[in-house]
Structure 1
Amino acid sequence: MALSELPLLRWLRESRHSRKLILFIVFVALLLDNMLLTVVVPIIPSYLYSIRHEKNATEIQTVKPGLTSSPTGSFQNIFSYYDNSTVVTGNATGGPQLGQLYKTTTQLMVTNTSTTAPDCPKEDKELLNENVQVGLLFASKATVQLLTNPFVGLLTNRIGYPIPMFTGFCIMFISTIMFAFSSTYALLLIARSLQGIGSSCSSVAGMGMLASVYTDDQERGNAMGIALGGLAMGVLVGPTFGSVLYEFVGKTAPFLVLAALVLLDGAIQIFVLQPSRVQPESQKGTPITTLLRDPYILIAAGSICFANMAIAMLEPALPIWMMETMCSHKWQLGVAFLPASVSYLIGTNIFGILAHKMGRWLCSLLGMLIVGVSILCIPSAKTIYGLIAPNFGVGFAIGMVDSSMMPIMGYLVDLRHVSVYGSVYAIADVAFCMGYAIGPSAGGAIAKTIGFPWLMTIIGIINILFAPLCFFLRSPPAKEEKMAILMDHNCPVKTKMYTQNNIQSYPIGEEEESESD
C-alpha cells in the first residue's frame, strides 16, 4: 500500500511546482469571481422590483364595508392597493341603479388592471428610480475592490501570493452564501461589498503569480490570455445561468451552486498553493506611487478602465431599459448579455496570442474604437435580436483590450521598474474597478436624468477619443538604470533592444552568439 502511494505522492509534489497547474488555479478563481459578478445582473433589478411590489401588495390590503344592503341585494366594495382596482361582490338584482354601479366599477377594474401588467412595466416611475439603486449596488463591489487593491499589492510583496489567493476564496464563499439568503437591499449591498474584498485578493495575487512564473513576454501573454478566458467564461455563463435558474427555480439556486464550486476551488488551493506558508518576494518592488507616475502605465490602465466602463454601464441600465421598452421577460434580461460574453471569450483567446504578433498597442487601439462604435449602436435596437450584433462587438473589443493591456503592465515593469508584479497588477485591477465603480453609479444617474441613449453616446465617444493614446505604447523607452540591469547576464528577464522604429527582443546571450558566428 505504501509503495503504491509513493508515485502518487511524488507526482503531487512535482505538480505543486507546475506552471500549468498554477494557471489552472488562477483560471478557476477568475471564472468563479466573475460568475458571481455577473450572475446578479439579471436577478437584482427584477428581484428588487418584485419585493417592493409584494410589500405594497401585502402592506395595505383593506376591505371596506360598502354599499348598504337593500331588500333585494347586498354588495361589498373591496379596494385592492396592488392593482388599484375596485371589485364589487354580492347580489346585483336590486334594480338599475345598483346594476349600473356594478357595471361602472367593473369597467374601472378592467381598465386599471390592464395598465399595470407585471410583464410590461412601461412608464413606471419606480422602475426608473431603480436605475440609481441598482447602479449603486453594482458599483459597491468595484468601489470596495478599488480601495482594497493597493493594500493587497503591498501585501503580496511581503508575504507572497498563496495566502492572499486563499483569503479571497474564503471571503467570496461568505459573500455567495449571503447573496443566496439575503432578502433586503441592505444585506445585498453588504454581500456585494464583501465580494469586492475577495475579488481584490484573487485577481491581484493571481495575475502577479502568473507574471512571476511566466517570465518570457510571449508566454506571459499567452498565459494571461488563457486566465482572462476564465474571466470571460464567468461573464459568459453568469447572466444566462442566473436568469434561467432565477426564472425556473428561484433566487437562492444560482448562488448555492456557485458556493459549491467555490468550495471545490478552495480545496485545490489548499493542496497546491499551501497558503499557510509565507513566500515573500526575493527583491523589494517599486513603490506603487512611483508606478502611478509612469505615463505609460497610466495609458495602459486608462485603456482597461474606459473599455470595461462601457459594459459596466450596460449591466444595470440595459435590463431596466429592456423592461421599459421591450417588455422583456426575466430570462431575456440575462440572455441579452450572451453575445457579449461569447465574443469576449473568443477575443481573449484569439488576441492573447495574436496581440504579441500584431502589436499590443495596435490591438488595444482598435479594440477601443470598436467598443465605442458598438456602444453607440445599442440604443437603436427595437427587440432583443437587435442587441445581438452591438453586444457581440462590445464583448469582442473588450477582449482585445484586456488581453493586450494585462501583459503590457508586466512588460512595462520589466522594462522600466523592478520586476515585482503585485503593485502593477493592483493598478491594473484598480483601473478595472474604476470602470465598474464609476460605470454603474454614474450610469444609473445619467440614465435616469437624460435617458439610456445619451448614456451610451457618452461612453462610446469617451472610448473613441481615448483610443489614439494607445499609440504611445508602441515602443516605450527603458530607463537607463533598468537597461543596465537587463544587460546583466544573470538576469532571467528578456533583454529588450531598441531601434528607432521597432522593438526587438531576444534572450540574453543570443546577441553574443550571433556576433561570434
Structure 2
Amino acid sequence: MLLNLRDLMEPLRRRIEDPQKQKNLILFIVSTALLLDNMLFMVIVPIITPILARGLDALNTYRKNEAKNMPCSLNMLFRKIWQPKKGSEDISIGILFASKAIVQLIANTVTGSFIDRIGYELPLLMGLSVMFVSTLLFAIFTSYGGLFFARSVQGLGSALADTAALGLVADRFTVDEERQRALGIALAFISFGSLVAPPFGGFFFQYFGHSVPFILLALMCLCDAFLIGMVAAKKAEDDVARENKPVGTPMWKLMSDPYIAIIAGALVVANIPLAFLEPTISKWMEDVMDATPFQKGFVWFPAFIPHVCGVMICVALANKYFRFQWFYGAVGLAFIAISTAFLPECRTYGQVTVPLGLMCFGIALVDTALLPTLAFIVDTRHASVYGSVYAIADISYSFAYALGPIVAGNIVEKFGFITLNLGMGAVSILYVPML
C-alpha cells in the first residue's frame, strides 16, 4: 500500500523538481486558491437568509427548553448572543458580509511583512488551512453568531492566502510578459469563483442541504493545501543551500511611493461599484422589473465573458505596449463610469446584463494592467520582494468590500439607487486623470 502511494506521488515529485513544470503547477495552485476564496466569499449570498431562518427556528426551540437545559455548546452560545433581532436583518446581514473584508483589511497590515520574511509558500499553506477550518465552520453553524465567526476566520485565511498567492506568482514569473499572463489567469479564476459560487451554493443547498457546498469547498481547500505543502517542502530544501536572500521593503515605505499609492487608490475606486452593487442590485431588480429569484441569482453570471475578454485584451496589449499600462487602467475606469451611468435606466433583465458586463470588462482592464505594474515598480524602485506590495493591493480590495455591504444599503435608502450609481460613476471618472 505504501509502495503504491509512493508510485502515485512520483509524477508529482518530478513535476515539482522541474523548474518550468513547477511554475505551471504553482499557477494552478494559486488560481485554485483564489477561486476557492472567492467561491467561499460569494457562495453564501443566495442561502444566507434561509440558513438564518433555520437557525432562528432552532433558537426558538432552544429557548423553550432553556429552563431545563443549560447551554452546552459553542453554537448555542453564538445563537444566544448574536441572533439578529427582527427588523434589523438587512443591517445584520450587511455587517456579516463585511466582517470578512474588515478582518482581512486589518490582518493585511502585518501579513505583508510576515510573508516578506518567510517566503510565499508557507503563508499560502497557512491561509488555505485557515480557510479549510472556516469552511467547516460554515458547514456546522446555522446561527448569525456562528456564521459571523466563520466569516471573520475566513478573512484571516484570505489575508494570508491572497497576498501570498499574488506574491508567489510575481516571484516565480520574473519576465514581464509571463507575469502579466499568469496574473491575468489568476484574475480570471477570481472572477469565475465570484460568479459561479451563488448558483453553486443555491443548487446544493436546495437539493442536498446547507452543509454540502461548504464540505465540497473544504475538500478542495485540503487538496490545494496538500499541493502547496509539497512545493513548500522543496522550497525549504532549496533555501538551505541559498544565502543572502533579499530583504523586503517595509509596507510604510511602499505606501509612501506615489506610484504605488495611486495604484492602490485605483484598485479601490474600480472595485467600489462591484462591492456596492452586490448587496443592493437584487432588491432594485425586484422593485423595478419584478425579477425572479433565478434572474437575481444569475444577473452577474453573463458578465464573466466580458471580464475574461478584458483580461485577454489587456494581456495582449501589454505584451506589445507594456509602458501603456497606466492608460489601460484609465480606460477601464472610464468603462466603469459609463456602465454605472446607464445601469439605473435598465428596465429588463437583458438590459441589466449589458452595463454589468461593461463594468466587469472595465474592472478586468484595471486589475490586469495595474497588478503586474505593482511588481514592476517594486522591481525597479525597491527590493524584489512582493509580500508587502500585494498586501497593499489586498487592503485596497478589502477596503472596498468592507464599505460596500454596510454603506451601500444606507445610501440607497436615503438617496436612491440612481444617486448611488451616479456617485460611483463620478468617483471613477474623476480618478482617471490620476492614472
TM-score relative to the length of structure 1? 0.72
Q: Could you tell me which amino acid in structure 2 is paired with residue 44 of structure 1? A: I
Alpha carbons of structure 1 residues 11 and 276: separation in structure 2 relative to 1, 3 Å: closer
Which one of 11, 15, 29 corresponds to residue 14 of structure 2? 11
Matches within 5 A, 1:46-125: 47-48=51-52, 50-51=53-54
Once the two structures are superposed, residues 105-157 of structure 1 have per-residue CA deviations (whole angstroms, 9 ceiling, x without a partner) of xxxxxxxxxxxxxxxxxxxxx78x54432222211111111111121111111
Alpha carbons of structure 1 residues 168 and 56: separation in structure 2 relative to 1, 3 Å: closer
Deviation at 1:43, TM superposition (A): 2.4
Rounded to whole Å, the distance in 1 between the matches of 2:285 and 2:377 is 42
Alpha carbons of structure 1 residues 56 and 176: separation in structure 2 relative to 1, 3 Å: closer
Structure-1 residue corresponding to 2:70 = none
Q: Could you tell me which amino acid in structure 1 is paired with residue 421 of structure 2? A: M
User: Is 1:333 the counterpart of 2:337 in the alignment?
Assistant: no
Report the RMSD for the aligned CA atoms in angstroms.
3.0
User: Is 1:402 the counterpart of 2:402 in the alignment?
Assistant: no
Rounded to whole Å, the distance in 1 between the matches of 2:270 and 2:94 is 18
Matches within 5 A, 1:211-226: 211-226=170-185
Structure-1 residue corresponding to 2:219 = 260
Alpha carbons of structure 1 residues 419 and 386: separation in structure 2 relative to 1, 3 Å: same
User: Is 1:42 the counterpart of 2:46 in the alignment?
Assistant: yes
Q: Any conservation in 2 of the 1:340–1:395 contact (CA below 8 Å)?
A: yes
Rounded to whole Å, the distance in 2 between the matches of 1:420 and 1:432 is 20
Structure 1: unaligned runs, 5 residues or longer: 60-125, 471-517
Q: Any conservation in 2 of the 1:236–1:341 contact (CA below 8 Å)?
A: yes
Structure-1 residue corresponding to 2:79 = none
Matches within 5 A, 1:243-392: 243-274=202-233, 277=236, 282-358=245-321, 359-392=324-357
Q: Any conservation in 1 of the 2:107–2:156 contact (CA below 8 Å)?
A: yes
Once the two structures are superposed, residues 432-453 of structure 1 have per-residue CA deviations (whole angstroms, 9 ceiling, x without a partner) of 1111112222112212322333
Deviation at 1:181, TM superposition (A): 2.7
Matches within 5 A, 1:402-481: 402-470=367-435
User: Is 1:20 the counterpart of 2:24 in the alignment?
Assistant: yes
Alpha carbons of structure 1 residues 253 and 457: separation in structure 2 relative to 1, 3 Å: farther
Once the two structures are superposed, residues 206-256 of structure 1 have per-residue CA deviations (whole angstroms, 9 ceiling, x without a partner) of 111111111222221111111112212212311222233334443333222
Structure-2 residue corresponding to 1:67 = none
Structure-2 residue corresponding to 1:158 = 117
Rounded to whole Å, the distance in 2 between the matches of 1:39 and 1:45 is 12
Q: Any conservation in 1 of the 2:34–2:189 contact (CA below 8 Å)?
A: yes
Deviation at 1:184, TM superposition (A): 1.5
Once the two structures are superposed, residues 29-73 of structure 1 have per-residue CA deviations (whole angstroms, 9 ceiling, x without a partner) of 11111111121222225654x4599689999xxxxxxxxxxxxxx
Alpha carbons of structure 1 residues 277 and 331: separation in structure 2 relative to 1, 3 Å: farther
Q: Any conservation in 1 of the 2:16–2:234 contact (CA below 8 Å)?
A: no
Structure-2 residue corresponding to 1:140 = 99
Rounded to whole Å, the distance in 2 between the matches of 1:153 and 1:306 is 22
Deviation at 1:13, TM superposition (A): 4.7
Q: Any conservation in 1 of the 2:104–2:155 contact (CA below 8 Å)?
A: yes
Alpha carbons of structure 1 residues 413 and 8: separation in structure 2 relative to 1, 3 Å: closer
Deviation at 1:339, TM superposition (A): 2.1
Structure-2 residue corresponding to 1:201 = 160
Structure-2 residue corresponding to 1:99 = none
Alpha carbons of structure 1 residues 333 and 249: separation in structure 2 relative to 1, 3 Å: farther
Alpha carbons of structure 1 residues 8 and 250: separation in structure 2 relative to 1, 3 Å: closer
Deviation at 1:326, TM superposition (A): 4.0
Q: Could you tell me which amino acid in structure 2 is paired with residue 271 of structure 1? A: M
TM-score relative to the length of structure 2? 0.84
Deviation at 1:295, TM superposition (A): 1.1
Rounded to whole Å, the distance in 2 between the matches of 1:331 and 1:466 is 35
Q: Any conservation in 1 of the 2:43–2:198 contact (CA below 8 Å)?
A: yes
Deviation at 1:341, TM superposition (A): 3.0
Q: Any conservation in 1 of the 2:346–2:352 contact (CA below 8 Å)?
A: yes
Alpha carbons of structure 1 residues 362 and 456: separation in structure 2 relative to 1, 3 Å: same
Rounded to whole Å, the distance in 2 between the matches of 1:184 and 1:10 is 43
1:468 counterpart SS class: helix
